[in-house]
């Protein structure tokens, strides 16, 4: 029951990283769809079952370090300065995330994702999960008292902004444009007719 801080954990993390590294190497080299799970397992020198004990699916190998996404959004809501308005805080965070994804170094991975139908679909459903998490965070914020529908709507709109801005020709400008619309939607939801 004590917190295990030993070699076992390090070994596990090392195995996980070895698998993820092998996968990314093969995927970028030969293309995602052209590489099989058995190839990845062989390259990482690991059994197929071991691979699946570290990653829930083939797609999850690509979105490995994505855990931070949900946390960044929920914290942008929960940890914002007292009385700081909600939408600008979210706008700032989304802008940072969009810039992170459209950075030069992320281009090959992003290109790979766009090239595979299953990866795109996986990311879509990830985004829905993120939207639900954000809606939950909005419900937990003490200074916001909207209806469930309004919370879920705003959460979806914010996630949409992320997805749309990333694909836009001018991502920064798109964030501005979309968040102006979200701001208006939020205002009208706060002050019902």
Write out the residues near a second copy by the rule CB under 8 A: 120-121, 124-125, 128, 147-150, 152-153, 156-157, 160-161, 163-165, 168, 173-174, 177-178, 180-189, 192-193
What is the rounded CA–CA span in Å between residue 35 and residue 53? 19
90 interface partner picked from DNA, a second copy, none, CB below 5 to 8 A per type: none
Q: How far is the CB of 7 from a second copy (least distance, A)?
A: 36
Q: What residues from 51 to 90 belong to the interface with DNA (CB under 7 A)?
A: 52-54, 56-59
> 62 with 109: CB under 8 angstroms?
yes
18: left (phi over 0), alpha (psi -120 to 50) or beta: alpha
> 158 with 175: CB under 8 angstroms?
no
Q: How far is the CB of 126 from DNA (least distance, A)?
A: 14
Q: How far is the CB of 86 from DNA (least distance, A)?
A: 36
Residue owning tokens 């929920």 = 74
Q: Which is nearer to a second copy, 71 or 147 (CB)?
A: 147
Residue owning tokens 């920064």 = 172
Strands (DSSP E) found in the chain: none
Q: Which is nearer to a second copy, 36 or 173 (CB)?
A: 173
> Is residue 22 within the footprint of DNA (CB under 7 A)?
no
94 closest CA partner among 188, 171, 147, 16: 171
Residue among 17, 30, 38, 129 that touches DNA (CB under 7 A):
38
């Amino acid at each position: 029951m004590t917190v295990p801080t030993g070699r076992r954990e390090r070994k596990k993390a090392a195995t996980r990283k070895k698998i993820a590294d092998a996968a990314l190497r093969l995927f970028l080299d030969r293309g995602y769809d052209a590489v099989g799970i058995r190839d990845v397992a062989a390259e990482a020198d690991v059994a197929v079952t071991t691979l699946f004990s570290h990653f829930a699916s083939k797609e999850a190998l690509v979105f490995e370090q994505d855990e931070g996404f949900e946390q960044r959004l929920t914290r942008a809501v929960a940890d914002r300065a007292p009385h700081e308005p909600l939408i600008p805080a979210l706008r700032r965070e989304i802008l940072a995330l969009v810039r992170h994804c459209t950075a030069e170094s992320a281009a090959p991975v992003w290109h790979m994702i766009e090239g595979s139908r299953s990866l795109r679909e996986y990311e879509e459903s990830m985004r829905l999960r993120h939207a639900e998490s954000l809606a939950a965070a909005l419900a937990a914020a003490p200074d916001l008292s909207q209806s469930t529908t309004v919370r879920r709507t705003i959460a979806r709109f914010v996630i949409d902004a992320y997805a749309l801005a990333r694909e836009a020709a001018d991502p920064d400008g798109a964030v501005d444009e979309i968040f102006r619309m979200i701001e208006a939607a939020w205002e009208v939801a706060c002050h019902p007719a």
